Amino acid sequence: VRHRETRQRFALKKINKQNLILRNQIQQVFVERDILTFAENPFVVSMFCSFETKRHLCMVMEYVEGGDCATLLKNMGPLPVDMAKMYFAETVLALEYLHNYGIVHR
């Protein structure tokens, strides 16, 4: 999505409320929201705001060119070793940051 005035890009995560209820994930999504709002680290995506509609919970987050790791692997196939090492190191730094605040990724 883009901001109408500044044209800045954002990622919009839309989560169907009914699916959250069926999968018993309501608390999990609110914890995710709280962590992303709190985190200030270059290796953790920033969240700018959240809101809800009648059917969806929505999170407006930092737009990261290229998407997530699954998309990267789907588009590129196996990564070159140096690139894989870089992404692995960034993931370790993000997890270390979160662990320092008592947050554990599952």
Say what the pLDDT of residue 32 is: 94
Amino acid identity of residue 18, one-letter, is Q
Say what the pLDDT of residue 18 is: 97
Bridge partners (DSSP) listed for residue 2 = 9
Tell me the pLDDT tens digit for each residue of 30-71.
Answer: 999 999 999 999 999 999 999 999 999 999 999 998 888 899
Tell me the pLDDT tens digit for each residue of 89-103.
Answer: 999 999 999 999 999
Q: What gap in Å lies between CA 67 and CA 59, rounded to an integer?
A: 16
Instruction: Give the end-to-end CA distance of the chain in Å, rounded to a whole number.
Output: 28
Sheet-wide strand order for 56-62:
10-16, 56-62, 47-52
Give domain limits for the chain: 10-100
pTM of structure: 0.84
Which option is the CATH number for 10-100: 3.40.720.10, 3.30.230.70, 3.30.200.20, 3.40.50.2300? 3.30.200.20
Say what the pLDDT of residue 9 is: 97
Tell me the pLDDT tens digit for each residue of 10-40.
Answer: 999 999 999 999 999 999 999 999 999 999 9
Say what the pLDDT of residue 66 is: 81
Say what the pLDDT of residue 105 is: 79
